[in-house]
Structure 1
């Protein structure tokens, strides 16, 4: 027989460990510890694990956020991006969102895209900024056409 509550409890427990690992290693990056590459690798691994576990449990919003974090750390691991203060702030905000999602899951609910959609967009913009060679400090704003221009 399928024990959904048992799986949920195990998911939350293991996810909190991975979440804590991400936070601790982000703080190590922020303080400029000795082994930056090890911290980056640990963050990547924990985000990858959280992504897979979220997908297997059907928590799509959490999976999307973790996937976007993993994409950014893939760029950092490959040396195509640097860890900046603004990126660290964004990633710490992502970990706050993950913590809120875990709280919702632990309480028997499911996280919604509302909790993570804007963060996913910011992470994607960060990744695309590198790929396109553009320098953007924020997401592009779509403006309506001016009257008489179309």
Structure 2
């Protein structure tokens, strides 16, 4: 009688552990899939805000000039892995943005960009971004956005 009880208890514990592992695995997959989707959305929003004038200003940035001299004369060919910039990929951009901005703030900015951004909106967004991100992080985000624009 005791051994049957022990076997049943072991089966229940095993079932609970396996269920928890399956749920954890599923949520992990969902998390990584959503990060990729968010990163694409964030970069599209940054692309929409970057003007030709800002691209010209970015090209004259000393950090970018150094990378352009080392790599090539094309900003889309810069390998950020070889740079000193803190962000090197879309995933890192999303992580940084999610650490520094609330979901509500991201939604507000996204809706403004989708509806059409006014100069006042652009100024407000840039103020918010420059207050929370370093100049190097912002430069890296712009380079990644430009590289994504040129892939299309």
TM over 0.5: no
TM-score w.r.t. the length of structure 1 is: 0.34
If asked which structure has higher relative contact order (CA below 8 Å, sep 6+), I would say 2
TM-score w.r.t. the length of structure 2 is: 0.33
Between structures 1 and 2, the one with greater helix share: 2
